[in-house]
Amino acid sequence: MKITWFGHSAFLLEGSKKVLVDPFITGNDNAPVKPDDIDCDLIAVTHGHGDHLGDAIFISKRQNVPIVAIYEVAEYINSKGASAVGMNFSGTYEHEGVKLTMVPALHSSGITESGFRHSGGLPAGFIIRMDNKTVYHAGDTGLFSDMKLIGELYEPDVALLPVGGLFTMDTELATIAARWLKPKVVIPMHYNTWPPITADPESMRPELDKEGIELVILKPGESYEL
């Protein structure tokens, strides 16, 4: 599996299928691509905030591919003419050999668009299983103790963890999360997009090395081969 970071929390996972997560491209100055450039088979959205829902509706319509999200966000997406699958925590949605399991996140999820406010339900993370590989995209989240359970149940190969602080975990708390999750690899996300969420994920390396966890720091547009 090839994991490419587009900056912020946007990732493209490529294996037998292409899974796009939280495609915040327009308005993300770090994004190395345009929404028209992205091909995918499935889109996952962790919550309703604009920097995660992003260009999902546009890309879904252009590619004629479904978006998977928590039920309330899916309702909103469907109201905009895109195709969405609503689900909830502990549920698993399978699409052409890709399995998405929804897990909790500790955050918020309201939708605001052109003055219109819509309930975004609850924020989520995703366990993404494809080609016998497992990736945990934590979404926007604070540290919560059930991350231990997520690690025990799903044994992720890679954990994509927010580290920017203010709205999510910072590097110190993300290091604790990694210790609980016990993935083989941690890839930091949700940092250095704007000044309020600046971070140096390199500070995580000494503690992760002690745990035998590889820290992979990507620049926007770079990829990691799992």
| pLDDT tens string 186-223 | 999 999 999 999 999 999 999 999 999 999 999 999 99
* Residue at 201 is within a domain: yes
* Residue at 225 is within a domain: no
Both tokens assigned to 217? 């720091």
* Residue at 157 is within a domain: yes
| Number of structural domains the chain divides into | 1
pLDDT value at position 112? 74
* Residue at 133 is within a domain: yes
The CATH number linked to 165 is 3.60.15.10
CB 175 within 8 A of CB 165: no
| pLDDT tens string 111-121 | 877 565 667 89
CA trace torsion 70, 18, 7, 141 (10° rounding): 30
* Residue at 132 is within a domain: yes
Q: Whose structure tokens read 């905009």?
A: 80
For the chain, which ranges sit under pLDDT 50?
Answer: none
Domain encompassing residue 27: 2-220
* Residue at 226 is within a domain: no
